[in-house]
Amino acid sequence: MNLKSILLLFVFTGFKCISFAQGNTGIAEKPIVNAFDSSKEKDLKDVFRRKSKNVTDEEQANKKYQFSIVPAVGYTLQTGFAGIISANLAYKTDNNPNTKLSSITPSFTYSQYQQSIIPLLADIWTGNNKYNIVSDNRFVQYPSDIYGLGGRTDPNKGVTINFSGLKLHETVLRAVNENLYLGLGFYYDKYWNIYAIDSLKKRAALRFNNVVGTKEIASGLAFKLLYDNRLNQLNPQNGLYADIVFRPSFTFMGSQTNWQSLLLDIRKYVTFPKGSHNVLAFWNVDWLTTGGAPPYLLLPSTGWDDQYNSGRGYIQGRFRGDNMYYFETEYRYRISRNGLLGGVLFVNAEKFSGEISPQFNTIAPGCGIGLRMKLNKISGANLCVDYGFGENGSRGFFVNLGEVF
């Protein structure tokens, strides 16, 4: 389940949202800075919480550490009703406004479908933006649906499975040029106690065991090249993000089989119309199997990208294949002049290659609308509530803290 896919029905008034602290830099970076003036903005803190007489907005922004906690309940296609408690520690390591924001985010979720999700995420920028340390650790106990391979699977013929999962992805990147980073990581994924909850006929059960099995392990290195001239990853106003990750998994490092994958994640942001606060955003993901056969649950799949955000309009895991091609465009616009409320319109398309026949190479479109509520006017962080539509009657809510991409 996507931790960001919980429809937040209750945001407690004591919630302190993420904001920028000041820092200093040594790399001569020139990131593209957000254009809005926070002194003219309003956020949910202004609506629900009386401002302390002793702490001004400027003093709050200049605090080195910003702590957030969000208890909430919600509903999604993947989880049913769910409860979540999430915390966030955000900070900068020096006093230069060009320094990128570091954050550490633990969370716990339990859902109506008896899903337990415990992630610990970290995105740390050292002084002078010299190193970027990225950590993505998750434990899941996760009943969910699978639908086979390719882009033309029947939405009425899914199989509900249960499994336990552990994800340990650790990467260290070093600046090699202005906004350009090169890094090396270690990726470990393990799924165990995999079984079908649904009763299967003998032939279907045999195929399930052959394709999925009862345990999957992938272990190996990750080589990463990153270009990012956005200063604010939570709410980019303009700029370019390009991430290339080559992941080879090896049996000598503990993987069940030898296989390789390549991920290209490119995002572009344009202020439109020029001089406004509105943003036209583009997102392209190519997630490719370049050799061997990854375990079934680690194949490219809808909503299983690192942020669990692809494919709004479809349930997580709806499509799966050896290769995934994904494109999305979103227009983000203001509803209120003070930035408290905004809206989005989005369209996306995804295509998965199948291993049986070219007929599986079909495009699955999605589209939808959304509402944005400003959680913090200093960082620009939004509460994002979207409603997406897919084919064959697929539809549902999709929610994030911070923009989808």
Q: pLDDT tens across 331-382, in order? A: 999 999 888 999 999 999 999 986 554 444 689 999 999 999 887 787 777 8
Strands (E), 236-362: 239-249, 259-271, 279-292, 323-334, 341-352
Give me the number of domains the chain comprises: 1
Q: pLDDT tens across 349-363, in order? A: 999 986 554 444 689
Instruction: Enumerate residues 6+ apart whose C-beta is below 8 A from 93.
Output: 23, 99, 102, 125, 126, 127
Could you tell me if residue 101 is inside a domain?
Answer: yes
pLDDT of 23 strictly over 70: no
Q: Return the number of other C-beta atoms located less than 10 Å from residue 47's C-beta.
A: 11
Given pLDDT bands bounded at 50, 70 and 90, which one contains residue 134?
A: very high
Could you tell me if residue 252 is inside a domain?
Answer: yes
pLDDT of 284 strictly over 80: yes
Given pLDDT bands bounded at 50, 70 and 90, which one contains residue 34?
A: very low
Could you tell me if residue 6 is inside a domain?
Answer: no
Could you tell me if residue 24 is inside a domain?
Answer: no
Could you tell me if residue 348 is inside a domain?
Answer: no
Could you tell me if residue 63 is inside a domain?
Answer: yes
Q: What mean pLDDT value characterizes the chain? A: 82
Using DSSP, state whether 372 is helix, strand or coil: strand
Q: pLDDT tens across 195-225, in order? A: 888 777 666 666 777 778 889 999 999 999 9
Average pLDDT over residues 181-206: 85
pTM of this structure = 0.82
Q: pLDDT tens across 79-104, in order? A: 878 888 888 787 888 877 777 878 88
pLDDT at position 33, please?
45
Strands (E), 92-235: 102-111, 116-125, 131-141, 144-146, 159-177, 180-196, 216-228
Could you tell me if residue 158 is inside a domain?
Answer: yes
178 half-sphere exposure, CB direction, 13 A CA radius: 8
Q: State percent of the chain over pLDDT 90.
A: 44
CATH code of the domain containing 147: 2.40.160
Helix (H) / strand (E) containing 388? strand 381-389
Could you tell me if residue 232 is inside a domain?
Answer: yes
Domain that holds residue 172: 38-270+284-302
pLDDT at position 54, please?
53
Lowest mean pLDDT among 6-20, 200-214, 252-266: 6-20
CB 155 within 8 Å of CB 318: yes
